[in-house]
């Protein structure tokens, strides 16, 4: 479990601007309960949330809970989730996870970070998503591609490894913002701070972000 430290004063204006722009930022994966969120997050690896949201209604319509999914034919699950990529490994992870939920947790998603990490297909990112979004418990900061890119551009980290990025972020951000921060940066990364063509002139963080200045120096 990460230890939190007081937010640095230099980060406070950045957080205020993000809060104004994305006050209700939330998880983009459609779900109705912790089980659906867990499965959707496993499927989201190397796949867009939009694509996952197209697949999960069919998947959950056929296999609505851990007990049913644990008995699912592997081939049928593969067919349903094929468009999410790496579908064979993901299908194996879904079935193994469902079986463990049934065998070890009475079919429920455990409300424990450590227990989540024991599920196939679950690493820190997925465990943080479930703990934060499903249970409201800030166990860390979710680091996906958007959070990685934007946190580097904003000067909050110089790391490329997700675990090291998370370590930097929990030192800089107040715990109360750990869950929201990732959702806000994902929203901002999709709408404004794009990987190839960031829209810096219209960015609410433009006066606080060192990235435009770095980009200008590279062009000059």
Closest CA to 29 of 60, 56, 67: 56
Q: What is the DSSP letter of 134?
A: I
Q: What is the DSSP letter of 132?
A: I
Q: How many residues does the chain have?
A: 220
Could you tell me the CA-to-CA distances from 103 to 109, 111, 113, 119, 126 in Å, in that order? 12, 16, 18, 12, 21
Is residue 26 annotated as part of the catalytic site, yes or no?
Answer: no
CB 80 within 8 A of CB 59: yes
State how far the Cα of 106 lies from the Cα of 15, in Å rounded to an integer: 40
Catalytic choice (144, 161, 164, 194) = 144
CB 188 within 8 A of CB 22: yes
CB 178 within 8 A of CB 172: no
Closest CA to 183 of 32, 27, 45, 43: 27
Is residue 125 annotated as part of the catalytic site, yes or no?
Answer: yes
Return the beta strands (E) in the chain as ranges: none
Catalytic choice (49, 90, 125, 177) = 125
End-to-end Cα, the chain, rounded Å? 44
Positions marked active-site? 125, 144
């Amino acid at each position: 479990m990460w230890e939190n430290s007081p937010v640095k004063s230099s980060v406070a204006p950045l957080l205020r601007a993000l809060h104004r722009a994305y006050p209700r930022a939330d998880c983009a994966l459609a779900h109705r309960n912790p089980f659906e969120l867990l499965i959707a997050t496993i499927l989201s690896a190397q796949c867009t949330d939009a694509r996952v949201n197209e697949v999960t209604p069919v998947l959950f319509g056929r296999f609505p809970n851990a007990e049913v999914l644990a008995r699912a034919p592997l081939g049928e699950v593969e067919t349903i989730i094929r468009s999410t990529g790496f579908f064979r490994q993901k299908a194996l992870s879904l079935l193994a996870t469902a079986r463990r939920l049934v065998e070890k947790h009475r079919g429920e998603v455990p409300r424990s970070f450590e227990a989540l990490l024991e599920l196939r297909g679950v690493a820190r990112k997925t465990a943080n998503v479930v703990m934060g979004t499903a249970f409201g418990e800030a166990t860390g900061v979710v680091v996906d591609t958007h959070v990685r890119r934007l946190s580097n551009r904003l000067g909050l980290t110089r790391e490329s490894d997700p675990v090291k990025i998370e370590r930097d972020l929990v030192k800089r951000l107040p715990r109360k913002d750990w869950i929201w921060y990732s959702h806000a940066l994902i929203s901002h990364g999709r709408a404004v701070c794009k990987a190839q063509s960031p829209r810096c002139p219209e960015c609410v963080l433009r006066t606080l972000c060192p990235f435009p200045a770095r980009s200008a120096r590279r062009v000059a």
